[in-house]
Amino acid sequence: MPQQSFADLGVSAPVVSALARRGITSPFAIQSLVIEDVLEGHDVLAKSPTGSGKTLAFGIPLVEAIDPGDPTPSALVLAPTRELARQIQDELAPVADARGLRVAVAYGGVGLEKQAKDARRAHILVATPGRLEDLLQRRAFTLRNVDVLVLDEADRMLDMGFRPAVDRIVAQCPAKRQTLFFSATLDGEAGRIAQLYTSDARRHEHVPAVQRKTDIEHRFVPVERDERLEVLKGHLDDEDRDLTLVFVRTKRGADRLVKRLKADGVPALAMHGDKTQGQRERALRSFETGRVDTLIATDVAARGLDVDGITHVIQFDPPADAETYTHRVGRTGRAGATGVGITFVGGEHRQDMRKIASELKLQRELETAGIGGAPERPQRGPGGGGRRRDGGRRRQPAGR
């Protein structure tokens, strides 16, 4: 059976051509599921992991639904973080340009005036909730012309405490609108607000197909604290790696690690919450373009960072829990690619890592690295193998 094309889904020739110029010729699974429903004007609830192609799943039909002569802003995309908002803008702008549409972005940490001016003229506005409320309170523009509202990574917005702001923003949009709700979960509070914001929505859940296509090799490396720098440099010398994201626990730790690597002739940049927006954007741009191929980050980058070409994620400081592990390592092996997730495990972290590995069904990888054994509560199980510096290696479907 021939593979479905964007044209088969009802996408116009100018948009199909714009996608083809970027090497995008056939839809990912989430795009095949969602695009037709959005083009037909239905509200949509979509459960899909990051890296699955969901930005274009809502972005393509969003562009198709708007005419250049429509009042602005005609569509609003809410995103939880500055990084995600900027990435959505970057993804949508070339497609929107094919139909003569403008895309603007609004987030904190940069000047209000230019953002307000751009937002007033934009057909599609991508914004974080806090900065959007700032602009609305200053009467920079209104949301009365918004025909399509998109909530991207809605579960993350709830986790970050944005529910009151999102409620106020949604209340300023027309009651008669199309709403697209994208989330990694449609259970609990996310599911309740999804029902509240949408009407007779079409529901799509897409996780397994992407996970089957995406392979992440999980490695655990037993290494004590004072050995970590040398072991990290050894991994950064790997010829098979491309862009590498290194996670640390604290902002100070990120800056310190960058300084230590640079002293040893290894170029690296840091990204964390104490950096200004300009510094974060410059670091991300250098990383995306490969000018610097090692980015040291705190968990500010564990969600919303979607950069092509990240082949390795190294957890210099181990994660606090299974969810953090999944989000961090999920920065690699995205959208059908393969990747490597490497976790450094010191003696003081072994018990916690056994528990995390048990939750994620990674006990075999941990045991192969010589870190296996009983999790937090004693239970029978196979013992670990011999200690190996390169850790255990087995292909494992990617997490969320």
Query: Residues 6 or more apart from 247 whose CB is under 8 A from it?
Result: 297, 298, 299, 301, 302, 313, 314, 315, 316, 317, 319, 328
Cβ atoms of residues 367 and 392 within 8 Å = yes
Q: Residue 354 CA to chain centroid, in angstroms?
A: 26
Note the helical H segments in the chain.
13-21, 29-39, 54-65, 82-97, 112-121, 129-137, 154-159, 163-172, 188-197, 208-213, 228-236, 251-263, 277-288, 322-329, 350-360, 363-368
Structure tokens at 57: 């799943």
Residue 177 and residue 123 share a domain: yes
Question: Is residue 227 located within the same domain as residue 140?
Answer: no
Whether residue 224 sits in one domain with residue 174: no
350 lies in some domain: yes
| Structural domain range at position 370 | 214-397
Do 309 and 183 sit in the same domain of this protein? no
Looking at the fold, whether 28 and 134 belong to one and the same domain comes out as: yes
**Domain end call among 209, 239, 259:** 209
- Among 3-17, 211-225, 386-400, top mean pLDDT goes to 3-17
Q: Of 109-118, 300-309, 342-351, where does mean pLDDT reach its minimum?
A: 300-309
| Residues 240 and 162 occupy one common structural domain | no
Exposure on the CB side of residue 148, measured as CA atoms within 13 A:
29
Rounded Cα distance between 320 and 355, Å, is 11
Based on the fold, state whether residues 263 and 280 are members of the same structural domain. Answer: yes
Residue 143 is encoded by which pair of tokens?
A: 């949301």
| Mean model confidence pLDDT for the chain | 85
Q: Are residues 205 and 221 in the same domain?
A: no
What are 78-135's pLDDT values in tens digits?
998 888 898 899 999 999 999 999 999 999 878 889 999 999 999 999 999 999 999 9
Torsion of the alpha carbons at 306, 307, 309 and 313, rounded to the nearest 10:
-70
Do 43 and 155 lie in one domain? The reply is yes
Whether the Cβ atoms of residue 156 and residue 134 lie closer than 8 Å to each other: no
* Domain count within the chain: 2
Q: Which amino acid is at 132?
A: L
The residues, ordered by sequence, that sit 6+ positions from 74 with a Cβ below 8 Å of its Cβ are 66, 123, 124, 145, 146, 147, 148
pLDDT digits (tens, 9 = 90+) for 269-298: 998 878 776 788 788 889 988 899 999 999
User: In angstroms, rounded to a whole number, what is the distance separating the alpha carbons of residues 162 and 164?
Assistant: 6
Higher pLDDT, 256 or 159: 256
- The answer to whether residue 98 sits within a structural domain is yes
Integer CA distances (angstroms), 310 to 156, 292, 298, 338, in order: 22, 12, 16, 9
Percent of the chain residues past pLDDT 90, beyond the cut: 55
Beta partners for residue 203, in sequence order: 45
pLDDT score recorded for residue 190: 86
Does residue 163 share a domain with residue 268? no
Residue 392: its pLDDT value, please?
39
Q: Which residue bears the tokens 């027309």? A: 174
pLDDT of residue 207: 55
Final residue of a structural domain among 209, 237, 269:
209
Lowest average pLDDT, out of 6-10, 52-56, 229-233, goes to: 52-56
Under 8 Å between Cβ of 197 and 191: no
Whether residues 291 and 342 fall in one domain: yes
Looking up tokens 């509200």 gives 43
1 found inside a domain: no
With contact defined as beta carbons under 8 Å apart, do 341 and 396 qualify?
Answer: no
Segment 177-197, tens digit of pLDDT: 999 999 878 888 888 888 999
Whether the pTM exceeds 0.85: the reply is: no
Inside any domain, residue 185: yes
pLDDT of residue 201: 93
Domain stops at, among 161, 182, 209: 209
Query: Which CATH number belongs to the domain containing residue 261 in this structure?
Result: 3.40.50.300
357 found inside a domain: yes
Per the DSSP assignment, residues forming a β-bridge with 180 are: 44, 150
Q: Which residues contact 7 (CB under 8 A, 6 or more apart)?
A: 13, 16
Whether residue 328 lies inside any domain: the answer is: yes
Query: Does any domain span residue 2?
Result: no
Quick one: tokens of 73? 């802003």
CA distance 284 to 305: 9
Q: How confident is the model at residue 244 (pLDDT cuts 50, 70, 90)?
A: very high
* Predicted local confidence at residue 2, as pLDDT: 54
Q: Is residue 153 part of a domain?
A: yes
Do residues 204 and 241 both lie within one domain? Answer: no
